[in-house]
């Protein structure tokens, strides 16, 4: 799932024709009610490293955070502790959690907001699916233009005829 979400962030971040060098720093955050790695940490911060030399700096600007409501809270801030405790027990501690709890209660009682949220959720899923297809087609077109794959291979991967794919390239 983390790869999928990261890919979607990258896809949405780059406009058509933009160079990958323009990708910005990104975070994928999971709030887990069970320990995803069984190490009893309150937070796992995942970044890429070189396996042969972990001291080698490799900052591709991607971080994945797994917050664990069941872990030890030694490695996280007080606000994060309060938030994870709220997720786990619904106990309200700290200013941030108080504001969050009020927002949750207001949302639960607002029928118009809930309907708008559901409409937005469906729309977002449609856009994600459309974006995935468009992004995949753009990537295939780039690979053909750069000579990395043949048009036959690209058309097959796009589930199109060669003629249809040629029209996309020439559009």
Cα-Cα-Cα-Cα torsion 135, 139, 144, 150, nearest 10 degrees, comes to: -90
Helix (H, G, I), strand (E, B) or coil at 70: coil
For residues 51 and 166, give the distance between their C-alpha atoms in angstroms, rounded to a whole number: 41
For residues 94 and 81, give the distance between their C-alpha atoms in angstroms, rounded to a whole number: 10
Q: Does position 143 have pLDDT exceeding 80, yes or no?
A: yes
User: What's the mean pLDDT in 13-20?
Assistant: 73
Q: What is the pLDDT of residues 93-129, one digit of tens each?
A: 999 999 999 998 888 888 887 788 788 888 888 878 8
CA distances to 21, 38, 170 from 32, rounded to whole Å, are 32, 12, 47
* % pLDDT > 90, the chain: 39
Q: What is the pLDDT of residues 54-98, one digit of tens each?
A: 898 888 888 999 999 999 998 899 999 999 999 999 999 999 999
């Amino acid at each position: 799932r983390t790869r999928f979400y990261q890919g979607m962030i990258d896809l949405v971040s780059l406009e058509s024709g933009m160079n990958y060098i323009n990708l910005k720093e990104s975070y994928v955050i999971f709030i887990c009610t069970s320990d995803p790695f069984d190490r009893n940490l309150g937070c796992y911060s995942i970044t890429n490293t070189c396996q042969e030399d972990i001291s080698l700096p490799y900052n591709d600007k991607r971080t994945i955070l797994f917050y664990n409501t069941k872990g030890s809270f030694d490695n996280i801030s007080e606000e994060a502790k309060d938030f994870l405790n709220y997720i786990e027990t619904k106990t309200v501690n700290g200013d941030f959690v108080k504001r969050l709890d009020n927002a949750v209660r207001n949302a639960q009682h607002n029928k118009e907001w809930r309907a708008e949220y559901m409409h937005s959720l469906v729309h977002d899923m449609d856009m994600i699916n459309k974006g995935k297809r468009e992004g995949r087609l753009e990537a295939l077109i780039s690979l053909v233009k750069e000579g990395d794959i043949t048009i036959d291979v690209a058309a097959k991967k796009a589930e199109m005829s060669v003629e249809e794919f040629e029209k996309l390239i020439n559009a």
